[in-house]
Amino acid sequence: MENMTGTVPSSVTPYSEFKNHIGEMVTIKGAVHNIRDMSDFAFIIIRTARELIQCVYSPEFSDYRLDEKLVEQCAVKLSGKVVKSETRDGSERYELQIHSIDVLSTPAAIPPVVISKKQINCDLSVNLDYRPVTLRNPKERAIFKIQEGIQRGFREYLSQQGFTEIHSPKINFAGAEGGTNVFKLDYFGKQVYLAQSPQLYKQALVPVYERVFEIAPVFRAEHHDTSRHLNEYISMDFEMGFIESFTDIMNMETGVLKYIMELLKKEYAPEIELLKVEVPEITSIPCIRFKDAKDMCVKKLKNITDMKDFEPEEEAFLGKWAKQHFNSDFLFVTHYLSKKRPFYTMDDPEDPEVTLSFDLLFRGIEITSGGQRIHDYAQQVEKMKKLGMNPEEFETYLMLHKYGAPPHGGLGLGLERLTMHLLGFKNVRNAAMFPRDINRVTP
Ligand code: AMO
């Protein structure tokens, strides 16, 4: 065998290069997305990784003879002459006059759902049942290209800010977020839990790296089928040490979001255009205290009974309020009640009934929780006891506090939630590639 050099040979010309090859022969590889037979000629649309390339077949200039063996989803290598054409809106486009087609593979069956239409026209549940196929539809795949951009922006921005990327274990000794939504697992006869978040580990790494982030799946045993909860979702987390105030975390998140939105506009324009996404302009993000937000909701909305947290209806109202008064799609709500926040959250020294914590609402739905953490050992042990927890079960977590930790805090941002609201979906499953919910573990 020859030696490997690290260069993958390619005979293919990317679509972005077509403008430099007008009138010349080029080769592309892709899937047959659609064939439109016009009797004496045919349009064959080839789907490459990011584009649909229109190719024109005519016996006049083709060595290839089109027959019924060429069907949608055939993988092909196609050579043709680059021709400049115009789209209906007058913008430039390039197509290929087909010279030859080499069929690399042929599907065994016709897809159960038509994927070559502008969009998938079936119920969401059918769309999800056939995900490996329906994701081939350009609009479906654009969702997850944009989702890639969001993660990329998160990673790039935080790396530039001196954060270290980590991977915490997903099989854990304790549930980090409490509550009933923890998956229990038999681990060689011992009960363990699937990670609800990387909370305990990202905090442990603050005295090590000072600033850390993680993008990874987390697990929540949600017992109800709702439009905004998944049983497995991607959590984008960061944790930073030596903060002066919990507002440092909110400022960092504002920076991250600004960067993500700019990156999407710059490098994901085809998908933004295809899905007609309204990318939010962020200059700054307004903040309101939980109590003030609650008072406003009580005044403006009827039948508010839960004074400790928000109902979805209240979040939606606050989202509209932020848009109206600050022209902002985002709103930070701060100082949630101590009773409603997890054991690691720091209470406000000026008012221990409330915490130095926040949620971020995006277009009226929570996409982030975060805040300052307790870093003092005695304080953390005391809070655990107050909440009826056994500090001994958290001995390894408490090493953080016992052996010294700087003031720190961080946040968790749900990737599917952010994608869902950016793209205007009503259901979070639209923004999950292979969603897991109470009724679904396949495909
Ligand atoms: P929290 O539990 O609020 O906080 O989760 C943070 C964010 O994760 C998303 N999210 C979900 N997305 C889809 N399906 C679910 N079942 C689901 N549950 C939560 C939301 C939410 O805002 N450790 C803290 C974060 C921190 O303080 O650093 C935590 O996990 O977008």
pLDDT digits (tens, 9 = 90+) for 335-380: 999 999 999 999 999 999 999 999 999 999 999 999 999 999 999 9
What is the structure's pLDDT at 93? 93
Compute, in degrees rounded to 10, the torsion defined by CA atoms 117, 118, 123, 124: 120
What is the structure's pLDDT at 391? 97
Q: With a 6 A CB cut-off, is 235 part of the ligand 1 pocket?
A: yes
pTM check: above 0.85? yes
- Is the Cβ–Cβ distance between 364 and 317 less than 8 Å? yes
The pair phi, psi for residue 159, each rounded to 5°, is -60, -40
* CA dist., res. 251 & res. 257, Å (int): 10
Protein residue closest via CA to atom 1 of ligand 1? 369
What is the structure's pLDDT at 63? 85
What is the structure's pLDDT at 91? 82
Cross-strand partners of 423 = none
Q: Which of 363, 417, 429, 436 is catalytic?
A: 417
- Is the Cβ–Cβ distance between 80 and 55 less than 8 Å? yes
Concerning whether 211 is annotated as a catalytic residue, the answer is no
Residue whose pair of structure tokens reads 């396949």 in the numeric block: 442
Work out the number of other CB atoms within 10 angstroms of the CB of residue 382: 13
Q: Which atom of ligand 1 is nearest to the CA of 239?
A: 28
The pair phi, psi for residue 298, each rounded to 5°, is -60, -40
* CA dist., res. 150 & res. 280, Å (int): 13
Average model confidence (pLDDT) across the chain: 96
What is the structure's pLDDT at 87? 80
Q: Provide the phi-psi class of 355: left if phi over 0, else alpha when psi is between -120 and 50, else beta.
A: beta
* CA dist., res. 434 & res. 130, Å (int): 10
Q: With a 6 A CB cut-off, is 253 part of the ligand 1 pocket?
A: no
Please state whether beta strands 190-194 and 351-355 pair in parallel, antiparallel, or not at all (unpaired): unpaired
Q: How many residues does the chain have?
A: 443
All residues at 6 or more sequence positions from 111 whose CB lies less than 8 Å from its CB, including other chains: 72, 73, 130, 133
CA 413–ligand 1 middle distance (angstroms)? 6
- Token pair, residue 413, equals 């941002």
Instruction: Please give the distance of CA 190 from its chain centroid, rounded to a whole number.
Output: 33
Query: pLDDT per residue over 269-311, tens digit each?
Result: 999 999 999 999 999 999 999 999 999 999 999 889 899 999 9
* CA dist., res. 192 & res. 172, Å (int): 6
- Is the Cβ–Cβ distance between 436 and 232 less than 8 Å? yes
CA 188–ligand 1 middle distance (angstroms)? 29
- Is the Cβ–Cβ distance between 150 and 416 less than 8 Å? no
What is the structure's pLDDT at 64? 85
- Is the Cβ–Cβ distance between 44 and 86 less than 8 Å? no
What is the structure's pLDDT at 175? 87
3-state secondary structure the chain: CCCCCCCCCCCCCCHHHHHHHECCEEEEEEEEEEEEECCCCEEEEEECCCCEEEEEECCCCCCCCCCCCCCCCCEEEEEEEEEEEECCCCCEEEEEEEEEEEEEECCCCCCCCCCCCCCCCCCHHHHHHCHHHHCCCHHHHHHHHHHHHHHHHHHHHHHHCCCEECCCCCEECCCCCCCCCCCEEEECCEEEEECCCCHHHHHHCHHHHCEEEEEEEEECCCCCCCCCCCCEEEEEEEEEECCCCCHHHHHHHHHHHHHHHHHHHHHCHHHHHHCCCCCCCCCCCCEEEHHHHHHHHHHHCCCCCCCCCCCHHHHHHHHHHHHHHHCCCEEEEECCEHHHCCCCECEECCEEEEECEEEEEECCEEEEEEEEECCCHHHHHHHHHHCCCCHHHHHHHHHHHHCCCCCEEEEEEEHHHHHHHHCCCCCHHHHCCCCCECCECCC
What is the structure's pLDDT at 179? 81
* CA dist., res. 203 & res. 397, Å (int): 9
- Is the Cβ–Cβ distance between 208 and 381 less than 8 Å? no
Q: Which atom of ligand 1 is nearest to the CA of 238?
A: 28
What is the structure's pLDDT at 359? 98
Q: Which atom of ligand 1 is nearest to the CA of 370?
A: 27
Concerning whether 228 is annotated as a catalytic residue, the answer is yes
For residue 257, give the amino acid letter. L
* CA dist., res. 202 & res. 235, Å (int): 12
CA 412–ligand 1 middle distance (angstroms)? 6
With a cut of 50, list the residues of the chain below it in pLDDT. none
- Of 126, 171, 224, the C-alpha closest to 443 is 126
Q: Which of 369, 373, 421, 436 is catalytic?
A: 369
What is the structure's pLDDT at 385? 97
